Each structure stands twice: as C-alpha cells, then as structure tokens.
C-alpha cells in the first residue's frame, strides 16, 4: 500500500512596500522638524522687553566738582614735619596744626596702647570706601595715596592720644580759622570762568598728599585751610537737561556718599557753548570738606508713563489721508478702507480697495503705511467725484516701537515725554500706541515691520 506524502500547508503573507502612508507621514514630520530647527538656529533671535509703568527718577548721577575758598599754607622753615590737627577738623586762628623740627630729630609717633573709637573707625572706613569706589587699573598709583591717607589719619589719632600733644615745640599755627586739609590738586583757585568738561574726567585728576613727605623745605606747601562755610558744586549738563532745568531756582539732590538729601539754590552756567549746573551750599562743609569730587543724584519730579529702552525706538514714514477720503470700518478704529487709483507707466489706471492699518489719527487725518501707496496715486472719495493725490512731500515721520505680542513685528507709535541716555517715558493713553505689559523688540534695528519674531 502506497503511503501518501503530506506536505505542510504554507501560507504566503503579502509583502508591504516601504513607501506607504505611515512612512511618508513620518518623513514629512521629520523633514519639517529638521527645517524648523535649522531655521531656528540660523535666524537672528530677537530679545523682547516687557513694557512697564514708571519714571526716570534716579538716573541723573554726576561726579560734581566741589569748589571752596581755600588757602594753601607754606612751610616757614625746613625740617621734619609732624602733624597734629585731624584732617577735616576746624582749626581756630592761632591753633597748632603741625610742627617742623629743623634738627630732623623729631620722634616717631608712638602707637603703644593704640585704640580706635567708633568715630575713628568710621573715618578710616570712609577713606577706604572712597578709594575703592574711584579706583581703576589705570590709576594704580592712587594706592600709594591711600597708604598716605591711612598713615596720616592714624598718626593724627595717635598724636591726639599722646601725652606730649600739648607741649609742641617749633609750632606751625593756623593763620586764620578754617577746616584743615592735607592735599593739594591745583584747583584751589578755580573760578566759574575756568570751567570746562575736561575737569570732570576723573581719570586725569591728580592730587598730592602732603603728609606723604616727612621732610619739607622752606616755602613748600604743608597744609591748606578752607576758610569760608559757603561752597559750590558744579556738574556738566547736556542741552536737553539744561533746557528742562532753565527755570529751576532750587534743586533737590542726594549725596551718594552717605545718602543725605539736600535742597539748595541752583542756576546754570554757560561757558563757550557748554552748560554746567551750579549748586550753592552754605552748610555741611565739615561733612564733605575732604572730597574734591562728590557723586550726586538729582531728585527730579519726573513725569510718569510707560518706561521703554531708547534702543527700542525706531522711525517710520507714513502717508496722511484726510478722513473724508477714508471708509471707516465698523467695529474697529485701527483699520480703514481706501479706494485707491494707481497709474501705470503707459498712463493707464486701475483702482482697488485697500485695507490700511491706522497708525495715528489726529485733527481729521489718518496716517497709513507708506508701502501701500505710491507718489502720484489718488485716493477716491466714495459717492463723489473728488480725489486726494498722494505726494511724497506730505510724508509724516513717526517715532515708535515694534510690538511682538502676536509673534510678528507690528509698528506702534509712541510719544516721548521724558528720556535719558538709556530709557524714555512715553504716553500711556494713546489708542494706537502701547499698553503696560506689552512685549516689544528691545533693539529695533534687529527687525523690520511684519517680520516673524522667534
């Protein structure tokens, strides 16, 4: 009997092509992601700024030049100098300021049992703080002036504690009463007629610490006296601020050294086209007598509004359209429709309706994007045989910023009411302008109108 051979049942599965709908969809998404990432990496990324309400108070700071009535006292003889009066203290006429030992055998100041009280500690802190604030690598030599100032201050304190302080030989007495200073800088006889902007370059300012010299010669300066309580502060002004302060007779300001605020008589000095603020002081000389330059901040009653960086401001040009030639769109004040007539080079004409964004409306005139129309075009009045011709000579320039709330740059007009070097204040009630918490382009030069912002 013949046995039949059984063959296994083989089922063939249909082969699927690689190019199917799923693969195409995946490739499309992949390509989109690659293109998007490439565009993101190669595009210039725009920095945004959130508009806030505020003022510009606290932004007007100056290194003011202190001018006083100063008398330099010269050495009556040669020898080694020993100082007794504390710098900045008031010396009466005939009181001992220093001594000069002609033999050169003056004893060194003793620092035995030397202690500092709270006032002395604060004095040393002020010396070191002033040096730290004004120090720069270009003026490293001022470190030696700091050493001399500290040494001199410690010497004065030690002398005041010494038992032989009251029995000084070879005395040098003050010729008149005044505040004692131990540095000279060549500005002791400065007058208003000598003012120029170069005086306010602190990098070029130099002073000589007289206490750094242990030996003196006859006729050499050994100290100076500030002999009058009245003194002045001068600081440079730009023309904008000079104009703003032209009617100001009393100015409120703050010394940043100790955060003390004063109100004092004020006027403006003009010298060869340069403007300088002049503050007249008749008090607090003892507090600031040792400083030639004092950092001050003007406390002005600034106008409030929306605060934005000056780098965000840009200028754009617009065509004016009288309102009788515009078709007002119902439901929005930010758009109008124009029936425009264009002319080709062969003299033929064509008309079309254009929707135009309104960038300003004032005194019956709309301002619209200059790129919508061309010089010589006509805007037709609906229902009448009248037209308004577009002319480049009528172009109006507006200051504004680029609003990016919607992801692309939209020009918004701003009206600047106050500004300084970094920020400006703009009106907040402009229906075609900005509102608090809008986002704008920080640097307007990075984008153009209608650019998509990443």
3-state helix, strand, coil in the chain (%, to 5): 20, 35, 40
Cα 421 from chain centre: 5
DSSP assignment letter at 452: B
3-state SS string for 171-213: EEECCCCEEEECEECCCCCCCHHHCCHHHHCHHHCCCEEHHHC
Exposure string of 112-139, with b = 16+ CB inside 10 Å and e = fewer, is eeeeeeeebeebeebbeebbeebeeeee
Q: How far apart are CA 151 and CA 212, in angstroms?
A: 9
Let me know if 300 is exposed, middle or buried by CB neighbors in 10 A (0-12, 13-18, 19+): buried
Residue 313 has a CB neighbour count (10 Å cut-off) of: 17
Q: Shortest CA distance to 246 belongs to which of 223, 267, 218, 219?
A: 267
Exposure string of 343-374, with b = 16+ CB inside 10 Å and e = fewer, is eeeeeeeeeeeeebbbbbbeeeebbbbbebbe
Q: How far apart are CA 404 and CA 410, in angstroms?
A: 6
Inter-residue contact 302 to 425 (CB < 8 Å): yes
Exposure string of 23-54, with b = 16+ CB inside 10 Å and e = fewer, is eeeeeeeeeeeeeeeeeeeeeeebeebebeee
Q: How far apart are CA 149 and CA 166, in angstroms?
A: 24
Q: How far apart are CA 187 and CA 67, in angstroms?
A: 8
Residue 165 is predicted with a pLDDT of 45
Inter-residue contact 236 to 269 (CB < 8 Å): no
Q: How far apart are CA 411 and CA 343, in angstroms?
A: 28
Residue 228 has a CB neighbour count (10 Å cut-off) of: 14
Cα 231 from chain centre: 28
H or E segment at 387? strand 387-389
Inter-residue contact 87 to 290 (CB < 8 Å): yes
Residue 12 is predicted with a pLDDT of 59
Strands 365-369 and 314-322: antiparallel
Let me know if 204 is exposed, middle or buried by CB neighbors in 10 A (0-12, 13-18, 19+): exposed
pLDDT in tens, the chain (454 residues): 555 555 566 665 555 555 667 777 888 888 888 887 877 776 667 889 999 988 776 568 899 999 999 999 999 989 888 888 888 888 888 888 888 887 755 455 555 566 677 777 776 777 777 667 666 665 555 565 566 566 656 666 666 655 544 444 577 889 999 999 999 999 999 999 999 999 999 888 988 988 888 789 999 999 999 999 999 999 999 888 898 899 999 999 999 988 899 999 999 999 888 999 999 999 999 889 989 999 999 988 777 889 999 999 999 999 999 999 998 877 777 889 999 999 888 888 899 999 898 998 888 999 999 989 999 999 999 888 899 999 999 999 999 999 999 888 889 999 888 877 788 899 888 888 898 999 999 998 888 888 888 6
Beta bridge partners, 320, equal 367
Residue 257 is predicted with a pLDDT of 87
Q: Is 434 helix (H, G, I), strand (E, B) or coil?
A: coil
């Amino acid at each position: 009997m013949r046995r039949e051979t059984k063959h296994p049942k083989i089922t063939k599965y249909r082969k699927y092509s690689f190019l199917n709908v799923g693969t195409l969809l995946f490739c499309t998404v992949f390509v989109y992601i690659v293109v998007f990432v490439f565009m993101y990496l190669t595009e210039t990324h725009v920095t945004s700024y959130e508009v806030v309400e505020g003022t510009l108070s606290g932004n007007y700071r100056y290194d003011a030049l202190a001018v006083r009535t100063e008398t330099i006292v010269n050495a009556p003889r040669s020898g080694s100098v020993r100082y007794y009066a504390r710098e900045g203290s008031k010396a009466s006429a005939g009181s001992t300021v220093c001594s000069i030992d002609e033999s050169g055998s003056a004893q060194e100041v003793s620092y035995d049992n030397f202690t500092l009280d709270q006032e002395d500690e604060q004095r040393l802190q002020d010396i070191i703080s002033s040096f730290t604030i004004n120090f720069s690598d270009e003026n490293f030599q001022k470190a030696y002036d700091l050493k001399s100032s500290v040494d001199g201050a410690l010497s004065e304190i030690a002398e005041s504690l010494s038992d032989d302080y009251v029995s000084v030989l070879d005395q040098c007495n003050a010729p008149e009463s005044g505040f004692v200073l131990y540095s000279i800088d060549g500005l002791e006889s400065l007058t208003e007629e000598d003012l120029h902007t170069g005086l306010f370059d602190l990098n070029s300012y130099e002073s000589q610490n007289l206490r750094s010299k242990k030996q003196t010669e006859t006729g050499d300066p050994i100290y100076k006296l500030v002999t009058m309580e009245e003194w002045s502060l001068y600081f440079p002004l730009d023309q904008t601020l000079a104009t703003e302060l032209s009617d100001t007779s009393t100015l409120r300001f703050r010394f940043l050294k100790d955060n003390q605020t004063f109100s004092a008589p004020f006027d403006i000095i003009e010298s060869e086209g340069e403007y300088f603020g002049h503050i007249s002081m008749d008090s607090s000389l003892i507090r600031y007598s040792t400083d030639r330059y004092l950092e001050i901040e003007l406390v002005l009653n600034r106008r409030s509004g929306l605060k934005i960086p000056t780098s965000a401001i840009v200028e754009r040009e617009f065509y004016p359209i009288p309102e009788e030639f515009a078709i007002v769109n119902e439901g929005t004040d930010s758009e109008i429709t124009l029936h425009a007539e264009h002319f080709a080079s062969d003299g033929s004409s064509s008309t079309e309706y254009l929707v135009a964004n309104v960038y300003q409306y004032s005194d019956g005139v709309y301002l619209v994007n200059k790129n919508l129309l061309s010089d010589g075009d006509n805007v037709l009045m609906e229902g009448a045989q009248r037209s308004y011709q577009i002319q480049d000579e009528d172009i109006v320039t507006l200051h504004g910023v680029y609003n990016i709330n919607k992801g692309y740059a939209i020009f918004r007009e701003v009206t600047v009411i106050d500004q300084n070097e970094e920020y400006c204040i703009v009106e907040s009630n402009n229906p075609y302008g900005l509102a608090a918490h809008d986002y704008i382009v920080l640097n307007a030069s990075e984008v153009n109108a209608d650019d998509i912002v990443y």
